[in-house]
Structure formats: structure tokens, C-alpha cells
Amino acid sequence: MKTMFTILAALLFSSALYSGGLKPISVEKLRGDEYALYDLSGDNKPNGMIYRFRQAVEIPPALAKYRPDIADSVDGGYLMLERESNAAYLVGENGEFKWEINLAKFVMEGSMEVQDIRYDGGILYFNAACQSYGKDQGWQCSSLYAVDPTAKETLWKSRYLVSNNIFLVLDRVIVAGYGFTSEPDYLYIIDKKNGKVLTKTKLDSAHSYLELKGRYLHVLTYSKHYVFDIGRYL
């Protein structure tokens, strides 16, 4: 009877933990901070999983005069971000400006740090992450934004506390996470059309890296390697 009660309690705990979220198909203890240990490329965060933001700069010689923190090769040229000025801009391969915006003009957060930014289908996605503890900013930070950079208008803003560190923009959804020391840590699947949270999954600690391989989402936290099947969202 005691054994049956123990099993039932474990099942109830598991159900509560993953209720409304994703259930991992595997979880293992982190074995180090090298992507190759988990058969991952590291392409989504080449500066390394130990950092709280993404930094990636690979630009042709014609654009060497720019000093961005992020420079992604995208349709139409290169998306660039300069964190100190919150400037985001798209330049062609020969250096011609296509658009430039100040991200701070679009956000409702009192202070922010853009820890990741992506450009997909003509839409700019970025997070306005908490610069320290969420409670120090009244829990009003770390939203995701979708902005039309040519019309210079906000298409949607997510709720607070859904995105710091890196995120992934997929065909239908955005995969993001929020967590910090002594704060709850979650993984979010977000509707790409409107910024609404579709699933919220508890993690053991904040995510430090995300990578999709086929239908399987790999999530590295400070201490664990999770694998989730997200095929239904692809």
C-alpha cells in the first residue's frame, strides 16, 4: 500500500510539474560547457553558453567599418545590433543602409538589455531583458517584441518575464525562456503571430542555450540537458 501511495504521489508530482507544458523525453546532467559534448552545433550562440547574451559577428570585408555586437546574414543583407546605443540596422552586402531604428523607442521597460535579436520575414524580434533581478524592476522587464522596422511600428509585445538570454524564431512559434538567480525558471513556446504564450515549462535553472534538431528541441541550463519533442508546433 505504501509503495502504491509513493507511485501515485510521484505521478501527481510529475503531472503538476509538466501540466500545460512540455514533458522532456530525456534529461541528463550537464557534462561541461562545450556544445560538442551534446552533439550540438552551437550556431545559435557562438560566443558560448556561459554568457547571458548572444554575440555573433561574421561580416564581409566591405562592412569592416561597422562594429556591431551581432551581425547576422539575412535576406537583404546583414542585420546588425549595437547594444550600447540600442541601434539595429539592416545593411546590404556593399554597406548601403536599408533601415535603422532605435530599439529603446519601442519598449515599455524602464531599462533593458537586448540579449538577442532576430530578423525573419521582414519582422524584427528582440528581447528587452532585465538588467538584474526582475524584482528590482517591479517584474516589468524581459518582454519579447515584434517590430516592423520599415514602418517603425510595434506589431506585438509579449507579457513580461518570458525572454532573457537567447531565443529561437521558427516558422510558427518562438522558443524563449526566462530565469535568473533565486527566480523561477521557465521555457516558453510563443505564438509568432501575436506573442501569446502557448506553453510554459518549468526548468531546473535558467536556459543557457537552445537548438532545434529535426523535431527535437535541445535546452541546456546551468546544470541539465533537456530534450523536448516539439513536432506539433513546427
Range 164-174 average pLDDT: 97
Task: Tell me the sheet residues that pair with 176.
Answer: 188
Beta strands in 15-115 (DSSP E): 26-29, 56-57, 70-74, 77-82, 87-91, 97-102
| Residue 171 pLDDT | 97
- Say how far apart CA 115 and CA 181 lie, in whole Å: 17
Instruction: Give the type of residue at 112.
Output: M
- Say how far apart CA 7 and CA 1 lie, in whole Å: 10
Supply the DSSP symbol for 113: B
Supply the DSSP symbol for 110: S
Q: What's the whole-number average pLDDT of the chain?
A: 89
- Reported as a single tens digit per residue, the pLDDT across 13-64 is 333 344 468 999 999 999 999 999 999 999 999 999 999 999 999 888 888 8
- Reported as a single tens digit per residue, the pLDDT across 119-141 is 999 999 999 998 666 566 666 78
Helix (H) or strand (E) holding 168: strand 168-169
Show the domains of the chain with their CATH numbers: 2-233 (2.40.128.630)
